[in-house]
Structure formats: structure tokens, C-alpha cells
């Protein structure tokens, strides 16, 4: 897979910062990307520490002593979230400009979940979010990417069944090892139940109290579980946009699984035939397409919203970026058409343009400011 874009992103970050963090879910290819960068730019002039390796952990028992000896080198630290106490030390060492140290740190948790980095390394660190393969990286193979998701070992498996079994194993490991390693003492079966129940909220308005009642836990615990899944890149929390209108607007977020393959594995969908008869086919495709559009437009979480009113007018995705307001509706249909809701969103939100994303391959106008566009442009 061609990941040259990310290699260029790392180069750019090091032109600005002395520390670059590659963040993304486990098994997404962070270590592979780091090694590709090393081969192209640093040859033998680097040190690599894998914090899941007991030998490397032992080497860093006295991190200041071990790392301060290294100068004029790139220092790579993998699985940084396992030892967050390293962040203040990295700050001190990165500030010794005469030593010419650069740090490439890799983590399986978001900035929000490892807040020490933003506090200790403010102004010194640049972030790159590495996610599973996108449609561009998969050369437009929409069907395989949608069913299997973009995790490399899942997408590149020889057969659908092998991909499915890999994802099931990934889910189990995530629940039984990854979450505890982040310091969250949550029974794996409880989190699995929560994750499974989120399937029913995929693409829907999230109801904290309803889910808390179903699980027999507090609203606070539901929000905590959701924050964990969001912070480990499993779930996207899409916030509502509020316009200054004399209309009652929805204030609760929507929930989407970020990788379609993980979503399908949780409920036992193995192939295209099985998903075609699934009752929530439309919302499953909407989530897949929404993630792709966000990737294609290179939009940040802070630039993405949805909009809805109590009178049922809605917009699946609103991206506010570079002074523009662009709307997106997702329709699993070979003949997308304009709906009254689209016209309302176009006018109420003062959209510069609205795109109707559908599974086809053609792009054509539906009106002056509404365009139907195939997902893989």
C-alpha cells in the first residue's frame, strides 16, 4: 500500500517540531510506517525502543540516564501510552538543542487519552493520525474495504473468513489487554456488551440514559466507556451543529464505528451477501462513506458536525473548513435525488454546496448547489 503521504507528513512535522507523534489504533501500521521513515531518512543513525518489549522496558528503567546519552540521532519510542511518565523527560531532552535529538513517538491512544503529551510537550510536538487503509490506498476497492475494514492484516487477508477471524481476535485482545494497559479496570465482558449495544446506535442519535438503563450502570459510566472507545479510535463521536434559528435543534451527538470491518465482525457479518440483507444496511454504508469523506477532505474532528431539527430536517455531515460550509448526505441508492430535508439544510445552514454521496461512480449535478457524487472520486 502506498503510504507516501504519511512519510511526507512526518518530514513536515520534523521541520517544525523536535517531537512527532504518530497516533492510531493498534495493528494499523504505525511501527511499519516508522521503519519506512527510518530506512529513507536515518539509515543507522537512530535508536528504537518498543515499550511492549521487556528488554526495551529494562533499558528505560532510568530513562533520563539512558536517553541523555543519545545525541544527533532520531529516538523512536513505540507504544508510548504504556509509560506516560516519559513525556516530561522527552520535553527536557528535546529542549537541549545542542544535542540535536529528534523524537518519533508512536501511540495507540488519542491526544485526549494521553493528555500528558499535550501538557508536557506543548509547542514541541506535532501529531499525525494514522488510520486503517482508505479507499485511495485500497485503489478504489470499495467492496472489500467496506466488508473487511482497513486494518492491514484484515484487508489483505487471502479469504473473507481469514479476515473475519483476525478481526474477532483483534476485538478480544483489545478488550482483554489493550484497555487494561491504558489503566482502565473494566471487565472485558461488560465492555463487550457496551460495544455490541453501540452497533444499534451506529449512525443514530446517542441516548446516554437509555443505554445506561439497558446495561444497569450509571450515565457517568456510559460516557466513560464511550470516551474510551473514542480515545482508542474505535468510535467517532460526531457533535451536533447549532445554528441561530427559531427551530428546536438536536443537541445530542451521533455515534459511528470508525472501521467498518470491526463493526461487521462484532455482529457476525462475513461477506457482501450477508450485509446486503442486513436491516441496517443504509446506516452501515453511511458510516463507511462518512469516514471516507472526512479522510478525503483531510478534515479534523473540530471541523466536522451533523445537523438536525426536532421537525426531522437533517444533514448527515457538515464540514466547516477554510471559510466554507459544505454539506454531505449519504444515500445507499443508485439514483440519488433531492429531498425536502436537503433544501432546508441548504438554506438554513447557508451551505456553499451540498454533495449527495452514493455508491455509484459518476458525478452529476442535481441542482445549482447540489451535486451527486460517487464515493470514490
pLDDT at 377: 62
What are the pLDDT digits (tens) for 63-109? 999 999 888 889 999 999 888 889 999 999 999 988 889 999 999 98
Q: What are phi and psi of 228, to 5 degrees?
A: -65, -45
**Alpha-carbon torsion angle 340, 343, 347, 348, nearest 10:** 40
Q: How many residues belong to the chain?
A: 377
Number of domains making up the chain: 2
Do 149 and 86 share a structural domain?
no
Of the residues 67, 98, 129, the one at which a domain ends: 129
Question: For residues 84 and 9, is the Cβ–Cβ distance under 8 A?
Answer: no
Kindly state whether residues 308 and 231 are assigned to the same domain.
yes
Say whether pLDDT at 224 is over 90. yes
Bridge partners (DSSP) listed for residue 353: 326
Is 136 among the domain residues?
no
Query: Cell 530506512 belongs to which residue?
Result: 39
Check whether residue 305 and residue 179 sit in a common domain.
Answer: yes
Query: What secondary structure letter does DSSP report for 352?
Result: S
Task: Specify if 134 maps to a domain.
Answer: no
- What does the pLDDT average to over 242-254? 92
On whether both 99 and 183 belong to a single domain, the answer is no
Q: Which of 34-43, 48-57, 306-315 has the lowest mean pLDDT?
A: 34-43
- Which pLDDT does position 113 carry in this prediction? 74
Q: Does pLDDT of 43 surpass 80?
A: no
Residue 269 confidence (pLDDT): 95
Same domain, 105 and 183: no
Quick one: 244 and 303 in the same domain? yes
The answer on 225 and 112 residing in a single domain is no
pLDDT at 168 over 90: yes
The domain that holds 85 is classified in CATH as: 3.40.50.300
**226, part of any domain:** yes
Residues 248 and 212 in one domain: yes
Domain closes at, from 81, 97, 129: 129
Q: What percent of the chain has pLDDT over 90?
A: 82
Q: How confident is the model at residue 112 (pLDDT cuts 50, 70, 90)?
A: confident
The pTM for the full model equals 0.93
C-alpha torsion 140→297→79→9, nearest 10: 100
Task: Report whether pLDDT(220) > 70.
Answer: yes
DSSP 99: G
pLDDT digits (tens, 9 = 90+) for 255-297: 999 999 999 999 999 999 999 999 999 999 999 999 999 999 9
| Residue 253, all three cell numbers | 451527538
Same domain, 329 and 367: yes
16: containing domain:
4-129
Domain check: are 62 and 150 in the same one? Answer: no
Kindly state the cell numbers that stand for 47.
535508536
Per-residue confidence band for 110, with pLDDT thresholds at 50, 70 and 90: confident
With beta carbons less than 8 A apart as the criterion, state whether 252 and 314 touch: no
Are 236 and 258 spatial neighbours (Cβ–Cβ below 8 Å)?
yes
Answer yes or no: do 174 and 67 share one domain: no
What gap in Å lies between CA 148 and CA 193, rounded to an integer?
A: 22
Whether 89 maps to a domain, the answer reads yes
List, in order, residues 6 or more apart from 237 with CB less than 8 Å away: 206, 226, 230, 253, 254, 255
Amino acid at each position: 500500500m502506498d503510504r507516501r503521504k504519511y512519510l511526507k507528513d512526518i518530514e513536515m512535522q520534523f521541520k517544525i517540531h523536535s517531537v512527532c507523534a504518530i497516533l492510531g489504533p493498534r495493528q494499523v501500521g504505525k511501527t511499519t510506517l516508522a521503519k519506512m521513515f527510518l530506512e529513507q531518512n536515518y539509515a543507522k543513525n537512530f535508536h528504537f525502543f518498543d515499550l511492549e518489549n521487556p528488554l526495551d522496558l529494562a533499558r528505560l528503567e532510568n530513562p533520563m540516564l539512558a536517553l541523555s546519552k543519545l545525541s544527533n540521532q532520531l529516538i523512536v519510542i513505540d507504544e508510548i501510552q504504556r509509560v506516560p511518565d516519559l513525556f516530561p523527560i522527552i520535553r527536557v531532552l528535546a529542549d537541549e538543542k545542542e544535542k540535536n535529538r529528534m523524537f518519533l513517538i508512536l501511540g495507540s491512544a488519542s491526544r485526549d487519552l494521553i493528555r500528558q503529551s499535550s501538557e508536557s510537550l506543548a509547542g514541541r510536538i506535532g501529531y499525525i493520525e494514522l488510520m486503517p487503509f482508505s479507499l485511495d490506498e485500497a485503489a478504489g476497492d470499495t467492496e472489500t474495504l467496506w466488508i473487511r475494514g482497513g486494518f492491514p492484516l484484515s484487508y489483505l487477508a487471502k479469504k473473507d473468513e481469514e479476515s473475519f477471524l483476525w478481526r474477532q481476535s483483534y476485538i478480544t485482545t483489545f478488550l482483554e489487554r489493550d484497555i487494561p494497559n491504558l489503566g482502565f479496570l473494566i471487565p472485558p465482558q461488560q465492555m463487550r456488551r457496551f460495544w455490541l449495544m453501540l452497533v444499534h446506535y451506529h449512525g443514530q442519535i446517542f441516548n446516554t440514559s437509555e443505554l445506561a438503563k439497558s446495561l444497569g450502570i450509571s450515565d457517568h459510566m456510559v460516557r466513560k466507556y464511550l470516551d474510551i472507545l473514542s480515545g482508542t479510535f474505535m468510535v467517532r463521536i460526531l457533535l451536533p451543529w447549532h445554528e441561530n434559528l427559531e427551530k428546536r435543534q438536536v443537541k445530542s451527538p451521533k455515534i459511528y464505528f470508525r472501521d467498518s470491518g470491526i463493526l461487521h465482525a462484532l455482529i457476525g457479518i462475513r461477506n457482501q451477501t450477508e450485509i446486503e440483507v442486513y436491516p441496517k444496511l443504509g446506516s452501515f454504508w453511511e458510516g463507511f462513506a462518512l469516514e471516507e469523506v472526512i479522510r478525503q477532505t483531510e478534515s479534523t474532528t473540530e471541523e466536522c458536525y451533523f445537523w438536525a431539527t426536532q421537525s426531522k430536517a437533517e444533514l448527515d455531515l457538515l464540514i466547516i473548513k477554510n471559510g466554507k460550509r459544505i454539506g454531505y448526505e449519504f444515500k445507499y441508492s443508485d439514483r440519488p435525488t433531492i429531498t425536502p430535508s436537503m433544501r432546508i439544510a441548504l438554506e438554513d445552514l447557508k451551505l456553499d454546496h451540498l454533495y449527495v454521496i452514493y455508491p455509484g461512480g459518476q458525478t452529476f449535478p442535481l441542482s445549482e448547489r447540489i451535486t451527486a457524487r460517487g464515493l470514490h472520486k
